[in-house]
Structure 1
Amino acid sequence: METKTPLLAAVILAGHSPQESDPLAPYTLGRPKGLIPLGGRPMLAYVVEALSGSRYIGSVYIVGLPPEHRLPLSTPVIHVSPQGDMVANAEAGIREAYTHNPDLEGVLVSSADIPLLTTPMVDHFIEECLKTDHDLYYGIVERSVMERRFPTSRRTYVRLTEGEFAGGDLFLVRPRAATMNTELWRRLASARKSPIRQARMLGGIWPLIKLLLGRLSLEEGVQRASRALGVRGRAVICPYPEVGMDVDKPFQLEIARAELEARVLAEHRRRPG
């Protein structure tokens, strides 16, 4: 008997526009960051291509682009208007996806600034998530994996008993996660570059002390976050550093640009003749 392929939707958070003080502001000129051109295409287009190519994803939603910034893409997408902050945009996209298709088994949420993402990476992440029955899945990347591939990327890492990890830019949200504590999620998202602030939000001084001493385990961190958010969460360790290679600084933009140029060159060399 043929096994049915799980059906998911993808939501891309594309509403962030760097302020004048942001190092990327000269590259965006007041427009959303996902529209920065790379290789003749907006950065967002690479993410759309990676997600829409997945055999698990039936539809792609882009949240946060004002109408005047919605560019033609090679893949059909559904636009959702900006809702304010990142969490509100995520909620709106997830809600829209489930409204269009209540039978979805989950919604994959991605940022718009991971242009090195590819479809095999997306499929791998989804397959790892679907091995267990949790409400919320969050991709993370081990430091050695990230720095072996992108030694100059200068990511933010959390030191745990199992090693050091950087946050990824892929989440998978099951329907049950609709009951999540979104206000805490909003605060955690605002502190995503500060593991110490996040630890303080998740349970007072003790987890903070353990984190500072490197004695907080990944499992304990996940359990504390799950209890605080009101969901059953799981951290998914990704073997692909591209999942966490978001573009926050000009030098990271140049890393992405060089990598995409190398891919084009490699593809050209593989072509016969």
Structure 2
Amino acid sequence: MTETEIINTKIFKSNKDFITKRKKRIEEAIAFKGGTIKNRKKHLISNLPNGKESYFFKPGKETLRKIPNIYDMSPNVGANGISETESWAFEKIWEYLLKISIISQSTFKKVLVLLYRNCFLLNHQEIKKGKLIYLPSKEILDYINNIEKFVLKEGFKDKFKTKEIGLLEFLHFIDLLAWNEDVKYHIVNGQPDFIKYDKKVGRVNTILTVISAPLLISNFILDIIEKTEKKGIIDVKLITSTIQKFAKTRGICVLSNKELLLHLSPFLYS
């Protein structure tokens, strides 16, 4: 199997199975016991091959809001009691991805496709009844590890003088972040509900925004580099269109399937 074939992914169309899987995860999250903000309960989700863990702390900070999200949790990845993703927000997530885009555009595309697969639970497995986790096959896990080993580890060090979170840890963190977004929007009267809000709200819009915004910004950065070298006119519309997407959609930035196909081919296909 070629490198492209390993993560070849067809544009996903939502179905009952996808919604059922999301409902199962919401039910699991509802059942997690909560502590207090000062003494939160830890809920282990996955043990990663490198000794790290992905886990939630419950409750999360949104339980303190004037209109609280009583089911809110805090997603984390780390080891030995130290979270590597504490207080991570979109800014940090996009920074991580934009650094990858500067290290290698081809690797950037591959990582975004891995995120796309994560979004639609294509690499998740139900390890026991009602417990669905991000668990890539050995083939895809090796693929992720090779990206980390041969491109990202040295790339971060060489271009940015930093040591960043590993790609596998990053993918696990995004999974938990998106899971928590489903919990935020799709619970009514203590039960999973996908009627009150559109099915894209929560997990789907969150991860597609994680993908789309840095993709658009990366194109702008590449245009600046190219036009500067050639003394051409920089296309500022590449960045203003990104801002416009956020303005129109109240904080989300989701490219259409057609746009995703344009940018992520040949790994993503229709």
Same fold? TM cut 0.5: no
User: For this structure pair, what is the TM-score category when the shorter chain's length is used for normalisation?
Assistant: under 0.3
Between Structure 1 and Structure 2, which shows a larger proportion of strand residues? 1
User: TM-score under structure 1 normalisation?
Assistant: 0.27
Between Structure 1 and Structure 2, which shows a larger proportion of helix residues? 2
User: TM-score under structure 2 normalisation?
Assistant: 0.27
